Each structure stands twice: as C-alpha cells, then as structure tokens.
C-alpha cells in the first residue's frame, strides 16, 4: 500500500482551515491541525471578503451557509469624516456575480463554517504550541510540552506574529511607526448601513464601518497616524476611553455616537512584512505569516484564502514546492502590497488641495464602470 503523505497545519485561522477544507477528502493525505490556544467562538471583529475569495469559498459550499450570518455588499461609499459629504461611491455590482458577491462577516462565524465543513478524520489539537521546526528529510515539529512529531509537509498559518517565520526566515516584522488601529462591533444599528461599506477619510486618519450579518450588527476599523501612546503586539488589547475620544475628536457627531455605543474597542499597532516568505523545503507559509500587510485594501483574509486554495492544488497534483508557490503568488501579492502602502498616503492626506484632487479622481474612477474595472479589476477578478 502506498504511504500516505502526512501534513501538519499550524494555526486554525482562516488560512489553515481553508487549506484543510480543500484537502480533507484526499485519501492519500493524513492531516493534523495544531492550534496554540483554544479555537475561540467569541465575537471579536468583522472581516471583508471580496469577490476573489468568495469564488474560492463557494467551492467548499459557502453558498449553502445561512445567509443571516453575513451581509452581501453592493456598494462602497466614501465620505469626508467631518461633514459626511460624499466623495465617491463604488458600485460593487461592477464585480459582483450572483452568489459570488463581496460580503462581510463576523470572523468567528467564518471560522465556525470552515470547522463544520471538515470531516471527522481531521485531527485538531488545541493548546498545542509549536516552538520549532527542523527541515530534514522529514520535517520535525517540536512542541512546547516537549513532544516531537514528523511530517512530510508543514504549513505554517500562525499569523502575523509567527515565531516560526522568525526562525526560518531570519527576518523580523517591520513596524509602521505612524499607524495604530482600533476595531470593535456595534450591535443592531439598523438598516442605514445595510449592504454597503462606508469609508470615512480624514486628516491622518480614516474609519471603515460595515454590516456583518442580517441583524444589522456593524464592525468598524479605524486607523490613525496620530499616535496617542503605543499599543501592545496583540489584537486583544482593550483600548482606553481617552484613546477612542482622542481618535474620534474631530469626526462628525453621528459617527462619534455610533462608535461610542461599542462596549469593547481593541487596539493594535500596524505591522507588516517587508518581504514575502513562502517557506523552506517542504515547510510552507501562507496568509499573514507569509505576507502580513497593513489593512488598507481589505485583502488580508482574501489573500489567505487564495494562498490556501493555490497550495491545495499544488499538493493534490504532487507539484508542491516553495519555488512553485512563489512563482504563482509573488507578483499578485507584491502588486496588492504596493496598493496598500499607497492607500495609506491617499486615505490620510492633510493638504486641502491634494484632498480635492484625490476626491475628484476617486469620484471619476468609482462612477465609471470601465475605469473602475481597470483600476480594481486586478484585485477582484482573480481567476480561481
């Protein structure tokens, strides 16, 4: 009997669970997932999933998921953060197709969907922290509890603060010294935000608000260049009330009142990888552990889903190699990372003349289907 290929997936986030979903029916594979914590089901944040990733999720039955748990997005509206005057409106139906719409969802709802799709043959180990990998003929994984296991393929999906990447790539995260993020969920805000993402641009800051289900619950993410203190290297650091007031001080009163309804607002510094790292030998890195980037294009989760899908195809076809993964993925990721860095500048302009020029261009590009397709099509029209 032919020996099965053993695969270790480190991390039970979106990247790791998506990969497991595409591989779990392959009879020649043995898959184990290792998570350093418990797999959390508490409400923490929303995420945006654009068309390029929705097409991939549909291949693992996302269209059968309860529609009450997410919200399809039909437009992205851009406003001035002080007076709420509209700058531009991007019609997402330029890119949406039936059952393949841009959508927003609470992160843990998507995690639950991905978990529930897996068959019982997948072994999931929680509270099992991997501290080191040695790449030899077979990959040796060393755990914090002193145990060691060997696998033919290891896929690291352990996020932006991946310790495994530090050890294999010898590269540290680069810190965005000029940006800090805030996020939270506001319950039952009504139909005013239904089926659209609202983006508010301002001087050295911006705010995104979007619905995450059919109950009109909203997720928001605010980014500021005006640091008022320095937050910890974590996504679970509760911000202080004075931090939020400082961030919201010159927003329109309606926006301030909406955000102030949120009970728990978390904060974190913006980190990114200066280089993309796909791994070494038969150890692969995907998602944020490979190419963490600032959240200025709403592509973090989408790119993780793309990575998982592409790697699954390579594994199924027995063509898996880090060089092959890099050949397929590097140009696209580099293109999106450049847009992300550019958006940080575009969103936070403080010169009035430059703001007017930006607003004029955004209005033209977003309102014309041909121009919108030319500008955004490279991101949203990904061929899965």
pLDDT in tens, 146-195: 999 999 999 999 988 888 888 888 776 676 656 888 999 998 777 777 88
In this prediction, residues 359-372 reach a mean pLDDT of: 95
Residue 251 lies in a domain: no
Question: pLDDT at residue 345 above 80?
Answer: yes
Confidence band, pLDDT 50/70/90 cuts, at residue 228? low
Residue 28 lies in a domain: yes
Residue 371 lies in a domain: yes
Are 141 and 32 in contact, with CB atoms under 8 Å apart? no
Residue 62 lies in a domain: yes
Q: Compare 2 and 95 and report the one with higher pLDDT.
A: 95
Most confident by average pLDDT, 41-55, 66-80, 158-172: 66-80
pLDDT value at residue 229: 47
Instruction: State percent of the chain over pLDDT 90.
Output: 65
In this prediction, residues 196-225 reach a mean pLDDT of: 93
Q: Compare 262 and 362 and report the one with higher pLDDT.
A: 362
Report how many domains make up the chain: 1
Residue 311 lies in a domain: yes
Q: Tell me the average pLDDT of the chain.
A: 89
Q: Look up the CATH number of the domain holding residue 315.
A: 3.50.50.60
Q: Kindly report, residue by residue over 284-315, the tens digit of the pLDDT.
A: 999 999 999 888 899 999 999 999 999 999 99
Question: pLDDT at residue 40 above 80?
Answer: no
In this prediction, residues 7-20 reach a mean pLDDT of: 96
**What pTM value is reported for the model?**
0.93
Residue 95 lies in a domain: yes
In this prediction, residues 325-346 reach a mean pLDDT of: 93
3-state secondary structure the chain: CCCCEEEEEECCCHHHHHHHHHHCCCCCEEEEEECCCCCCCCCCCEEEECHHHHHHHHCCCHHHCCHHHEEECCEEEEEECCCCCEEEEEEHHHCCCCCCCCEEEEHHHHHHHHHHHCCCCCEEECCCCEEEEEECCCEEEEECCCCEEEECEEEECCCCCCHHHHHHHCCCCEEEEEEEEEEEEECCCCHHHCCEEEEEEECCEEEEEEECCCCCCEEEEEEECCCCCCCCCCCCEECCHHHHHHHHCCCCHHHHHHHHCCCCCEEEEEEECCCCCCEECCEEECCHHHHCCCCCCCCHHHHHHHHHHHHHHHHHCCCCCHHHHHHHHHHHHHHHHHHHHHHHHHHCCCCHHHHHHHHHHHHHHHHCHHHHHHHHHHHHCCCC
Residue 219 lies in a domain: no
Range(s) of the domain holding residue 101? 5-173+272-380
Residue 210 lies in a domain: no
Question: pLDDT at residue 42 above 50?
Answer: yes
């Amino acid at each position: 009997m032919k020996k099965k290929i053993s695969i270790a997936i480190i991390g039970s986030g979106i990247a790791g669970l998506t990969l497991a979903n595409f591989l779990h029916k392959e009879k020649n594979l043995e898959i184990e997932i290792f998570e350093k914590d418990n797999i959390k089901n508490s409400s923490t944040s929303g995420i945006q999933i654009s068309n390029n990733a929705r097409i991939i999720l549909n291949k693992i039955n996302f269209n059968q998921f309860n529609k009450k748990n997410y919200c399809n997005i039909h437009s992205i509206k851009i406003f001035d953060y002080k007076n709420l005057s509209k700058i531009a409106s991007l019609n997402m139906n330029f890119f949406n197709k039936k059952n393949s719409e841009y959508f927003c969802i609470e992160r843990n709802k998507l995690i639950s969907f991905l978990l529930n799709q897996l068959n019982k043959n997948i072994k999931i180990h929680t509270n099992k922290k991997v501290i080191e990998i040695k790449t030899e003929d077979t990959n040796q994984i060393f755990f914090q509890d002193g145990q060691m296991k060997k696998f033919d393929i290891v896929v690291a999906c352990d996020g932006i603060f991946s310790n495994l990447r530090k050890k294999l790539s010898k590269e540290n995260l680069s810190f965005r010294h000029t940006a800090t993020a805030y996020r939270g969920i506001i319950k039952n805000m009504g139909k005013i935000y239904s089926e659209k993402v609202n983006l508010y641009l301002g001087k050295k800051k911006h705010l995104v608000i979007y619905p995450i289900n059919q109950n009109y619950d909203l997720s928001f993410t605010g980014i500021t260049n005006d640091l008022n203190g320095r937050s910890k290297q974590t996504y679970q650091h509760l911000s202080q009330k004075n931090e939020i007031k400082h961030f919201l001080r010159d927003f329109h009163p309606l926006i301030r009142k909406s955000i102030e309804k949120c009970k728990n607002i978390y904060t974190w510094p913006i980190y990114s990888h200066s280089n993309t790292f796909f791994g070494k030998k038969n150890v692969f890195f995907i998602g944020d552990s490979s190419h963490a980037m600032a959240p200025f294009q709403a592509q973090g989760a989408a790119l993780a889903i793309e990575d998982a899908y592409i790697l699954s195809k390579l594994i199924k076809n027995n063509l898996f190699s880090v060089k092959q993964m890099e050949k397929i993925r590097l140009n696209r990721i580099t293109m999106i990372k450049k847009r992300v860095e550019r958006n940080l500048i575009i969103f936070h302009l403080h010169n009035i003349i430059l703001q007017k020029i930006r607003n004029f261009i955004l209005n033209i590009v977003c309102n014309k289907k041909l121009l919108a397709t030319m500008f955004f099509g490279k991101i949203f029209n990904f061929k899965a």
